[in-house]
Amino acid sequence: MRSLWDDKEAAGFKGDIAQRVYTSRLLGREPALVLHGGGNTSVKIERANLFGEPERLLMVKGSGWDLATIEAPGFAPVRMDHLLKLAALPRLSDPQMAAELRVATVDPAAPAPSVESILHAILPFKFVDHTHADALLSLTNTPHGVEHVREAFGERVVIIPYVMPGFDLARVCAERFPRERTGKTVGMVLMCHGLFTWGENARTAYERMIALVGRAERYLRAREAWTYPVSRKWRAPKTLRLDLANLRREISGAAGGPMIVATNSDPIFIDFARRKDIAALSQQGPATPDHILRTKQRPMLGRDVAKFVAEYRRYFETYAPAAKQKLTMLDAAPRIALDPEFGLATVGKTAAEAAIAADIYRHTVDVLSRAAALDQWRALPTKDLFEVEYWDLEQAKLRRQGAPPRFAGEVALITGGASGIGAACVETFLKQGAAVVALDLSAKVKELSPHPAYLGLVCDVTDAQALRDALEAAVRRFGGLDMLVLNAGVFPSSRTIGAMDSEEWERTMRVNLDANLLLLREAHPLLQLAPAGARVVVIASKNVPAPGPGASAYSASKAALTQLARVAALEWGGEGIRVNILHPNAVFDTALWTDEVLAKRAKNYGLSVDEYKRNNVLRTEVRSRDVAALTAEMCGPSFAKTTGAQVPIDGGNERVI
Ligand code: ZN
């Protein structure tokens, strides 16, 4: 680990708070120090209040901010005198502590101060840095942890035994730190938790952190416990999508609603899952309290969800009988699964949540493997795990998050997703919380959205193998398939029957009809496994109820597609799969309609382009996003009891009405 301090860069951050921002970001740049909101920093300043009275304030990282991207407003200003008085209390419950931290914050718009604020306050130094460094955890989380820490750091640190984070930990540190510090002390190690360093300026505090973590790394290296061999020969089996979709269905059942299940078949995870000592290593618990809420106390080994849930409940009842009534507040579903075939699967209500769990577990694999190579892995004390898991503060945080968006945990696949109605559907479904897989012939589909819940795949929907590959990729990324939007289609140029070209007819049928049969057929086993019942929306056309001259291939293909969808509604209704059909008309912001075509058509009818766009009963323009909104609605609860329906979205058409 090397210091990332850069004089030139640092000079751009003037004043104590700006310096605090700068080195906090340096810490945040190193995931082996702090991961996803883990770790926190502070600076003590003096500032005049409204009455001109000087006030000592702790500027401490607020919740909801990540060190990597923190800015000045991410630090909550908390009155030092209040914090120090709190530290002297014999006891304080965690909800009380959270309330007091709020009361002592002088800016009502500030984020909630870190739950470790009191700990920062009692350390009598200007800049204080705190991380949950991987290298340190490999030392502390072993049977001889204290000896390892002492040997690695000598007299440089005060060692605090493991105490659950919160008021009690601050209290223990307030007692022990002044007593045990010496002239050589530059840091404080919290066993099974993390590391504190400090300094009179931001650079000193930061570089002491880097130096101590560097020592821990060298200690592991010297004992051949830093790198561990990874076999590169593993590769996940070619087809896993049904296994994974099954697993997701069971996990979602245990969680009480659809969940995203993301797999990662990196050889590191397959290797780890195949270790002979995997049960002993993985089942004890997490490395640091920070990891618990997102990864649960231990991963599921293999794919037996029912067994995992039963064990989880038994474990819970044994160690935390007093907190039993809170069981209903939490689902018992795993957040991490390790499997010798696919490696790692992580579970989340959103794709981002699942990705965070995977990031954390990637570091857990490092920490565990190194601890095992150094000595023997030992997780947090079992009893404390439940105390942390049901930690009031964390619970309050979960409650504050409120109701998730309606498609949270669900996966939608949209064909023809790169432009027009398809692209509008991608945006709408992402906005409503779904993970979205878009298929398109155009490479544009890959870059359509930077959202972590988006996967764009170049795919020729008329190629059955390409569709199977796309479904496999979709399920590996998100776990299954809940919603299918059949949108890809072609609109051949106007041609009378007398002039119809067989090749064009066949191509139209292939894309608008046959490709949809292939996808429905290949997707069906996945749709059957959708935890909350699958939905299919078919984008057909006004040309079905009201065909146009010169559009025989298009009208016939969409009519046949509509009939196919109606049969699917009949065949699959018993499996809880709803199939509904939309008939859009005159949606001009799609790839089918160039300005040229539009102008030509308008002229044919003797209308201006604008009149032509609004040439319907309601005199309204129908846009791609209107069709997308109705498509999403058809997948939502208002259409829960409707299947096989054909709904026009055309501004009202006299031939249809
Ligand atoms: Zn911490």
192 Cα to the center of ligand 1, angstroms: 10
- C-alpha 233: how far from chain center: 29
Assess whether 178 and 31 both reside in one domain.
yes
Cβ within 8 Å of residue 563, ≥6 positions away? none
**38 Cα: distance to centroid of ligand 1 (angstroms):** 7
The DSSP bridge pattern shows strands 75-79 and 54-61 to be antiparallel
Q: Are residues 257 and 158 in the same domain?
A: no
- Closest alpha carbon to 135 in 191, 211, 214, 208: 214
Nearest alpha-carbon partner for 347 in 254, 441, 468: 254
Each residue's pLDDT tens digit, 499-510: 999 999 999 999
pLDDT at res. 398:
59
CA 451 to ligand 1 center in whole angstroms: 29
Both 321 and 470 in one domain: the answer is no
Q: Specify which residues 477 forms β-bridges with.
A: none
CATH classification of the domain holding 392? 3.40.225
The DSSP code sequence of 491-545 is -PPPB-GGG--HHHHHHHHIIIIIHHHHHHHHHHHHHTT-TT--EEEEE--TTTT
| Same-domain pairing of 203 and 100 | yes
Q: Ligand 1 centre from 275 Cα, in Å?
A: 30
Per-residue pLDDT, 390 = 47
Does one domain contain both 249 and 365? yes
Query: Quick one: which of 218, 367, 344, 219 has its CA closest to 274?
Result: 344
Q: Which residues of the chain, if any, have pLDDT below 50?
A: 329, 389-390
Distance in Å, CA 634 to ligand 1 centroid: 46
Percent helix, strand and coil across the chain, each to the nearest 5? 50, 15, 35
The answer on 628 and 613 residing in a single domain is no
Rounded to 10 degrees, the C-alpha dihedral 344/347/353/357 comes to -40
In a domain, 642, yes or no: yes
Tell me, what's the pLDDT at 366?
94
Token pair 């996966």: residue: 411
Q: Give me the number of domains the chain comprises.
A: 4
Q: 128 by DSSP, 3-state: which? A: strand
- On whether residue 438 sits in a domain, the answer given is yes
Name the residue range of residue 288's domain.
Answer: 241-400
Same domain, 606 and 508: no
Ligand 1 centroid, distance to 116 Cα (angstroms):
7
Length of the chain equals 657
In a domain, 1, yes or no: no
Cα–Cα dist 15/26, whole Å: 17
Between the CA of 177 and the centroid of ligand 1 the distance, in Å, is: 16
The β-bridge partners of 188 are 158, 196
Residue 198 and residue 87 share a domain: yes
- 525 and 496 inside one domain: yes
How far are the Cα atoms of 46, 65, 126, 233, 543 from residue 55, in angstroms, in the given order?
A: 5, 25, 15, 62, 74
- Predicted pLDDT of residue 284: 79
pTM: 0.91
In a domain, 555, yes or no: yes
Distances (CA, A) of 287 to 164, 272, 318, 368, 381: 13, 16, 21, 8, 10
Q: Is residue 230 part of a domain?
A: no
> What CATH code is carried by the domain that includes residue 76?
3.40.225.10
Catalytic position from the list 22, 390, 554, 612: 554
Q: How far apart are CA 77 and CA 630, in angstroms?
A: 47
Instruction: Say how far apart CA 633 and CA 640 lie, in whole Å.
Output: 10
- Indicate whether 576 belongs to any domain: yes
DSSP state of 657: -
d(CA 597, CA 455): 32
Q: Is 232 contained in some domain?
A: no
Q: Are 317 and 311 in contact (CB under 8 A)?
A: no
Q: 80-87 vs 94-103: helix axis angle to the nearest 10?
A: 160
Based on the fold, state whether residues 186 and 286 are members of the same structural domain: no
**Is 83 part of a structural domain of the chain?**
yes
Last residue of a domain, one of 368, 400, 432: 400
Cα gap 584→542, rounded to integer Å: 6
Please, what is the angle between helix 202-222 and helix 351-374, to 10°? 60
Q: Same domain, yes or no, for 387 and 455? A: no
pLDDT score, position 474? 98
554 is catalytic: yes
Bridge partners of residue 582, in order along the sequence: 539, 647
Residue 66 and residue 191 in one domain: yes
24 C-alpha to center of ligand 1: Å?
A: 14
> In angstroms, what is the span from residue 44 Cα to ligand 1's centroid?
19
**Rounded Cα distance, 556 and 134, in Å:** 63
Kindly report the CATH number assigned to the domain that includes residue 578: 3.40.50.720
